[in-house]
């Protein structure tokens, strides 16, 4: 379902007289194309028909056509609707629990994706800062290659990735960070060795 499909569905539901759908209600709505277009923010009738067909294919509504193809209702002597021709919302009611569960799952998946992207972004930021430090200070390491690898990860993150695709970037960044820390560790060892040599040279003989 696209957002425009759902906008048409929302417009259809708005023609139901009650605030909620119930088994006890007549769930067939019968707005004219003009009325439905107005509720769908002025959507063209040809576009409306396309989205209505998508809703029918998805099994969210049923079409009950009259003999002349028009939408209307016949009322009994008591004024209640005896027969209606239009769009039946009962499938939407029957699938309400499944739709709600799917929506909750989608929100949970979106939250996990956001957290995974945040983790990868922080790793990429830290790796970039350290790699630039190593490059600017001419420390041991192939900084150009590491920065190219980081750029490749950055380009991938600009795409709309799935959770699995985002998580697959984590081991790549871990490998990049290991190589960066190896170069920084060599600098630390060299500095420690230089300090030790300076200390020995500065010692006085008794």
What is the 3 state secondary structure string of 88-126? ECHHHHHCHHHHHHHHHHHHHHHHHHHHHHHHHHHHHHH
Model pLDDT, residue 189: 57
The token pair at 13 is 């539901």
- For the stretch 101-139, pLDDT in tens is 999 999 999 999 999 999 999 999 999 999 999 999 988
Whole-angstrom Cα distance, residue 192 to residue 185? 10
Is the distance from CB of 130 to CB of 180 less than 8 angstroms? yes
Model pLDDT, residue 18: 86
- For the stretch 154-170, pLDDT in tens is 999 999 999 999 999 99
How far the first Cα of the chain sits from its last, in Å, is 88
Question: Residue 138, by phi and psi: left (phi above 0), alpha (psi -120 to 50) or beta?
Answer: left
Which of the 8 DSSP states describes residue 203? Answer: P
Whole-angstrom Cα distance, residue 159 to residue 113? 13
pLDDT for 75 beyond 80:
no
Cα–Cα distances in Å, from 31 out to 12, 34, 114, 183?
8, 8, 41, 71
Mean pLDDT, to the nearest integer, of 40-68?
91
pLDDT for 201 beyond 60:
no
pLDDT, greater one: 80 or 181: 181
Rounded to two decimals, the pTM is 0.64
pLDDT, greater one: 45 or 79: 45
- Which of the four pLDDT bands, split at 50, 70 and 90, describes residue 196? very low
Is the distance from CB of 13 to CB of 92 less than 8 angstroms? yes
Model pLDDT, residue 206: 46
- Which of the four pLDDT bands, split at 50, 70 and 90, describes residue 80? confident
Model pLDDT, residue 82: 67
Whole-angstrom Cα distance, residue 89 to residue 6? 13
Is the distance from CB of 89 to CB of 61 less than 8 angstroms? yes
Nearest CA to 89 out of 17, 182, 171, 137 is that of 17
């Amino acid at each position: 379902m696209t957002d425009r499909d759902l906008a048409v569905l929302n417009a259809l539901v708005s023609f139901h007289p009650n605030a909620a759908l119930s088994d006890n209600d007549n769930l067939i709505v019968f707005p004219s194309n003009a009325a439905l277009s107005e509720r769908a923010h002025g959507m063209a009738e040809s576009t409306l028909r396309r989205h209505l067909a998508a809703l029918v294919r998805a099994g969210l509504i049923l079409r009950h056509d009259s003999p002349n193809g028009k939408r209307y209702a016949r009322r009994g002597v008591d004024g209640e609707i005896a027969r209606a021709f239009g769009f039946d919302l009962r499938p939407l009611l029957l699938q309400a629990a499944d739709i709600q569960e799917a929506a909750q799952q989608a929100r949970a998946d979106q939250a996990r994706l956001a957290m995974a992207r945040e983790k990868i972004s922080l790793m990429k930021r830290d790796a970039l800062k350290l790699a630039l430090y190593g490059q600017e200070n001419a420390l041991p390491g192939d900084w150009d290659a590491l920065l190219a690898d980081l750029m490749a990860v950055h380009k991938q993150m600009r795409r709309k990735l799935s959770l699995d695709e985002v998580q697959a970037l984590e081991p790549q960044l871990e490998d990049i960070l290991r190589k960066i820390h190896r170069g920084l560790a060599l600098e630390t060892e060299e500095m420690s060795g230089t300090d030790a040599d300076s200390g020995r040279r500065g010692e006085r003989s008794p």
